[in-house]
Amino acid sequence: MKSIMGLMTGALLAATGLATAAFAAEDYPAGPITMLVGYGAGGQTDLVARATAKVMSEELGVPINVVNKPGAGGAVAARDLKRAEPDGYTILFHSNTVVNSAPFIIEQVDFTPADFEYAGMITAYQVGMATQKDQPFNTIAEYVEWAKENPGSTYGALSPEARLYINEIAKKNDLDVNIVPLQSGSEMINALLGNQVAMAFSGGIHYRYPDELKTVSALTTFRHPSAPDVPTIEEEGYPLGMDSRTTIFLPKGTPRPILDRLSEALKAAETDADFKKIADSANIPVSYLGVDASYKEMETTYAKNKGIMENAGLIEK
């Protein structure tokens, strides 16, 4: 009798929980939303996050407050998100690299695509190596020759992924390069414009300064629309091309109706005039993906990047 009553009580509690979640999703959003950003203020991700928050706030009818939490390439913000309630009121706007590449580079980071929910993706990064316009090198091959003649040259990096590229190039060519840690895209730009570093990893924000800066290599699998003549890192003989997109992450267990509601609001940015103006001014390609497409993108890029890390000898096969 007790066991039957226990089962009935458990079933009732489960049903009540499902009903509460369904009600919460139906009523969503009923108040302000906090949008975490895993980089400091002023960089490309922060720029797009704030523009996205404005569009989504108008669509949802509630404030979306952007909170910058830089650290470990976004892992600090992602860990905070994991501890949040799965009710849709705390979201993370960040590059999907925090899941599809950082776990293979940082020991303390062990995220997998299954650790989060995804409400969509909105822009693609023109990730590349950038330098001053007057530097004597225009490709990785030319940079290698220059770096051999200038040992101890500096390279700005704001994430573990950023270090991966230069470390692999340096290892292959026996280069002596000093890595300068940076916290945001704005710090990276200042470091380049102020000649504090000879080259830096950029998520694409350097394209806003065409008279002062240039691209040395596209670190993606595709040539950048903003610099179609610049070869990719893979074209130069380094099988390291990895693509990334700005993604809206949510805690595991967030109800699907909430994900769909956020995704609908995110899609509005695709055709929003103000959003397009900001994206165009920074040469940021807009490429919206919905909920299902985002899950597929995360799984596909996670597997591809894992293979890259294994082939580079950074992790065991």
| Tens digits of residue pLDDT in 21-37 | 554 678 999 999 999 99
CB 126 within 8 A of CB 201: no
Which run of H or of E encompasses 37? strand 33-37
Full-model pTM = 0.79
Residue pLDDT, tens place only, 68-125: 999 888 999 999 999 999 999 999 999 999 999 889 888 788 999 999 999 999 999 9
> According to the CATH classification, is domain 128-218 in 3.40.190.10?
yes
Q: How confident is the model at residue 19 (pLDDT cuts 50, 70, 90)?
A: very low
| CB-side neighbour CA atoms (13 Å) of 3 | 0
> Does residue 13 have a pLDDT over 80?
no
* 3-class SS shares of the chain: helix, strand, coil, % to 5: 45, 20, 35
Q: pLDDT tens-digit profile of 264-300? A: 999 999 999 999 999 988 788 899 999 999 999 999 9
Taking the C-alpha atoms of residue 64 and residue 264, their distance in angstroms, rounded to an integer, is 15
**What does the pLDDT average to over 184-192?**
92
From CA 111, how far away is CA 299, in angstroms rounded?
A: 12
Instruction: Reply yes or no on domain 31-124+243-311 having CATH 3.20.20.80.
Output: no
And the tokens for 190? 């200042």
Please give the distance of CA 224 from its chain centroid, rounded to a whole number: 17
Closest CA to 112 of 206, 9, 249: 249
Partners of residue 215 on adjacent β-strands: 130
Positive/negative CA dihedral, 261, 263, 264, 266 = positive
Band the pLDDT of 2: cuts 50, 70, 90.
Answer: very low
Q: Please say whether the beta carbons of 63 and 205 come within 8 A.
A: no
Q: Which residues of the chain are in CATH 3.40.190.150 domains?
A: 31-124+243-311
Dist CA 206 CA 189 (whole Å): 7
**Residue 279 DSSP class:** H
**Which segments of the chain belong to CATH 3.40.190.10?**
128-218
Higher per-residue pLDDT: 10 or 120 = 120
Cα–Cα dist 63/34, whole Å:
8
Residues in Cβ contact with 3 at an 8 Å cutoff, skipping those fewer than 6 apart: none
